[in-house]
Structure 1
Amino acid sequence: MNTLTLSFMSLYASFTMATYYGASLDLDKLSSGTIGIATFLVFTLGGLDKSGGIEITAFSSNGLFVAIITSIFSVRVLWIFKKYNIGIKMPASVPPAIGKSFSALLPVLASIIVAWFIRSICNFDLVTFLNTVCQPFVSSSENIWTAMLVVFITLLLWSCGLHGDGIFLGLFTPFGLQWLDQNAKLVAKGVSSTQLPHVLAGLGNTGLIRMTVWTAAVWPLVIFMLISKNKFLKKLGVTAGIPAIFTIVEPVIYGLPIALNPYLIIPFVFSGTISTGVGYLLMSSPWMGKFFVAIPWATPQFLLGPLGTGDIKTILIVIISFVIGLLCYLPFWPIYVKSLEKKAE
C-alpha cells in the first residue's frame, strides 16, 4: 500500500501539476496532464532493474523536484505551440476530441524529444542532480527555527489579509512530502513512529504545523466569542465554531476580523509561532510519534496527530497549543471588546 501511494507521489504529481498549470494558461487539461506525465517518464525511467522490471525509484519523493520542472517545461511547450498556432489541423467535420488529440501531437513530440536528448543522449540524470543540489538545503531546513519562521511569515500574511497557506506555506510541500515518504518507508520496515527521523514530515500540507497553528491562533478566539455578551461576537462564534474545528479559519480571520486588526494581530501571529516551537520540541522527543501518513488538511487537530502518527499522545500538543493561544489572547481580547463597545455608542 505504501509503495502504490506515497512511493508513487511524483508520478501522480507530474500529471496533476501539469493539468492545473495548463488550465491556468487556458490549455486543455487532459492534453496538459498527458504531456506532463509523458515528459516526466522520459526523464526518470532509466531502464530495467536487476529483476528485469522498470526502475521506479524516481516515482517517490525523490522525483518531486523533477516533476515540478517537467510540468512547467512541458506545459509551456504546449502553450508556445498553441500561441503560434503550430500543430496538425484537422477538418471541421472531425469531432473536437479527436482534433485536440492531433493538435497536441507536435508539442508532445517536441517535449519528449528534448527530455530524451537530455536523459539518453547527454546521459544526464536530472533526478540525481537535483537531489544532490537540493539535499543540503532540504536537510538543513528541518529544525525548530525554520518551523517557527515559516509559521511566523504565514500568519503575518494572513494578518495582512493575504492567504498565507496558499502564498507561502505551500512552497514547503515538496520538503514535507519527502520527509513524510522517508518516515513512511521506515515504518513499513518495522520502525516505531517514535523513532522516526523527521519531525516536520508533511510540512506545508499536513503534520505538526496543522496541529499547532490554528489550535492556538483561532480556537481561543472562538471560545471567547461564544462566551461574550456582545451579540455580534456571539453570533460570529456560533457561525465560525464548527468550520474552525475543521481548520476553515476564514470566517474568523475575515469576519471578526483578525486581518488588519491592530488589537489582535500580535497575539494571532505569536500564539501560532510559539505553539509551533513548543510542539516541535515535544514531537522531537523520543516518546512522541512522528507523522508518516498524509492526512487531509481539514481533519480536526485532535484527530490529526493520532491518525497521522499512530500515537494518541500527540493530543497533548493540541491541548498545550490551545492553552498557549488562550494565554496570548487574554491581555488583548478585553481591549478589543471595549473598542467594539465604543464604536457602538
Structure 2
Amino acid sequence: MSKIMGFMEDKFMPIAGRIGSQRHLVAVRDGFVAIMPLIIVGSLAILINNFPVQVFQDFMLKIFGKGWKSVGGNVWNGSFAILSLLVAASISYNLAKSYNLDGLSAALISVASLIILTPVTEDWGISFAWVGAQGLFVAVVTSLVVTELFRVLINSKFTISMPEGVPEGVVKSFKALIPATIILILVGLLQALLTAFAEVSLHEIVFKVIQEPLQALSNSLPTAIIIAFLNHLLWFFGLHGTNILGPIIDSIYLPLIEENQSLFSSGISANDVPYIVTKPFFDSYVFMGGSGTTIALIIAIFLVVKSKHYRTVGKLSAPAGVFNINEPVLFGLPIVLNPIMLIPFILVPTVLTIVSYFALSLGIVPKTVAILPWTTPPIISGYLVSGGSWKGVFLQIINLAIAIMIYIPFLMAAERAQLKKNDEKGDLIA
C-alpha cells in the first residue's frame, strides 16, 4: 500500500494538480458555476409545470387558468433554452479576467461569434435548437478560441488609444473595436465557407462527429464508473476532484439532463426519457453527503464506533453533511491520505453507481429530470430529481444502507488501529 501511495504522490498527483489549475479548464469550470443558478431555476420551473400530482395540477389550473404553465415556460426560455449563449459569455469572461483583460468585451465578442455560427430559422430567427444544451460543445470551444484571439490582438497593439480624460468605459470600448472587427470577420468568413461548400453549420458538424458519440459513451455504465473512481481518487489525495473533473462533467452531462427535461416537459414520463447517467444522477444517488457518500460514513460512526475522536468528528460533520458539505469529515477523520479509508472511500461510490445505473436502466426507478442545488439534502433530492417519485427516495435509502455496510468494517479496523497506536504510546511513556 505504501509503495502504491508513494507512486501516486510522485507521478499522478503532480499531473492532476497541473490539470486542476490549468487556466482554460478553470475558466470552463468557473463559467459553468457562474450560470448554475439560472440552470437550477429553469430546471425547477419545468419540474413545477409537470409535477406528477393531479391534485396540484388541478389546483393550479383552477387558480390561474389554462395559461399557468406559461410562466415556467418563459423561465425555461431565459435559462436552459439559451444555455450555450450563457456559457459562452461566462467562460470567455472568466478566461479574459485570468489574463487581466476586459472580460465584458471578450464575453460580448464571444456571444456575437457564437450567434454568427448558429443556424437561423426560415424567418431569420436564431434557432433555439442550437443555442441550448445541444450547442454546448461549440459554445465552449468558441469562447476559448475567441478569447485567445482577443488576447493576442490586444497584446499586439491592434487597438485604438484614447487621450487622457476619456471615461474608462469609452476607452475599453474603443480598445476592443479593432480586435472585435477582425474576430467577427474571421468567424463570419468561416460560417460563409461552411455554408457554401458543406451546406451545414459548424454546430451540425460538431454534433454529429463529436458530441453525439460522446453523449452515447457518457451514458454508459463503464464511463460512469470511471468518473466516480477518478473523482474520489483525486479527493483521497487532497485534490478537489469535483472541480478538476467539473469541466468534463458539465460539458458532457448537462446536454443529457436538458434532453430529459425537455421530453419530460412535453409530457413524456420520467421512466421513458432516454438518458440514465446525468449530473443529477451522481449528485442525488452517488454523492449523498458529498463525495464518498460520507453521510453514510457519519451514520456508521454513530452505529459502531466508540472512539471519542471519531464520534466528535461525526457530531461536528453531521450538520454540514446533511447538505452535502463534507470537508470536515474528509480532513477531520481524516479520509484524505488515510490508507485504511482508501478502499471504502472509492468502493462505495463505485458500487452505488452500479446499483443506481441498473435501478434506472431497468425502469425500477424513474430517470433524472431535474437539476437541483448541490446542497439539497438526500431524500428531498431523490424525490425531486425523479420527477416527484418516491422510488427515487427508496433508491437513496437502499444506497445509504449499502454504503453504511461497506464503511462499518473499515471503520472498526481504523478504530482498532487507533487504539493499538494509543496503547503503544502509553507503553513508551510508561
**Same fold, TM-score > 0.5, yes or no:** yes
- Structure 1 residue 280 displacement after superposition: 0.9
Go from structure 1 to structure 2 and tell me whether the alpha carbon gap of 1:343 and 1:29 turns closer, same or farther (over 3 Å shift): farther
Which residue of 144, 147, 170 corresponds with 1:98?
170
Do residues 127 (structure 1) and 200 (structure 2) align? no
- Tell me how far 1:256 sits from its aligned partner: 1.6
1:1-345 aligned within 5 A: 1=73, 2-44=76-118, 46-47=119-120, 49-51=121-123, 53-123=125-195, 125-134=201-210, 135-201=212-278, 203=279, 207-215=280-288, 217-226=293-302, 228-310=305-387, 311-344=389-422, 345=425
Quickly say closer, same or farther: Cα 1:224–1:288, change in 2 above 3 A: closer
Q: How many residues are treated as equivalent by the alignment? A: 339
Name the SS for the 1:194 alignment partner: coil
Kindly, what percent of the aligned residue pairs are identical?
A: 28
Note if contact 1:211-1:317 (Cα within 8 Å) is conserved in structure 2. no
Q: How far did residue 41 of structure 1 move?
A: 1.1
Question: Which structure carries more helix by proportion?
Answer: 2
Does the 8 Å CA contact 1:210/1:301 hold for their aligned counterparts? no
Alpha-carbon distance between aligned partners in 2 of 1:131 and 1:264, rounded to the nearest angstrom? 41
User: How far does the alpha carbon of each residue in 1:42-67 deviate from its partner, in whole angstroms, 9 at most, with x for none?
Assistant: 111x33x2355333321111210110
- Preserved CA contact (<8 Å) 1:212 1:272: no
Instruction: Give 1:116 shift.
Output: 0.3
1:214 alignment partner AA = F
Change (3 A) 1:170 1:277: farther
Contact 2:219–2:277 at 8 Å: present in 1 too? yes
Deviation at 1:157, TM superposition (A): 1.2
* CA deviation vs aligned residue, 1:116-148 (integer Å, no higher than 9, x gap): 000024426110110011112321331222211
Closer, same or farther: CA 95–224 of 1 in aligned 2, 3 Å: same
- 1:273 positional shift: 0.6
Cα-to-partner distance string for 1:19-59 (whole Å, 9 max, x where unaligned): 11222222222122212211111111x33x23553333211
Question: In structure 2, how many angstroms separate the alpha carbons of the residues matched to 1:343 and 1:50?
Answer: 75
SS for the counterpart of 1:20 is helix
Q: What RMSD in Å do the two structures reach over aligned CA positions?
A: 1.9
Deviation, structure 1 residue 279: 0.8
Distance in 2 of aligned mates of 1:272 and 1:191: 30
1 CA distance for matches of 2:221 and 2:257? 17
* Residue 113 (structure 1) shift: 1.1
Give the conservation status (yes or no) of the 8 Å contact 2:300–2:408.
no
Provide the rounded CA distance (Å) in 2 between the counterparts of 1:85 and 1:226: 64
2:27 alignment counterpart: none
Secondary structure of the structure 1 residue equivalent to 2:286: helix
Contact 1:217/1:269 (<8 A) preserved: no
Gaps of 5+ in 2: 1-72, 426-430
169-178 or 106-115: which moved more?
A: 169-178
2:341 and 2:410 in contact (8 A); partners too: yes
Matched residues in 2 for 1:275 and 1:26: separation?
43
SS of equivalent to 1:235: helix
Instruction: Give the TM-score taking structure 2 as reference length.
Output: 0.74
Letter in 2 for 1:73: V
Letter in 1 for 2:107: G
SS at match of 2:165: coil
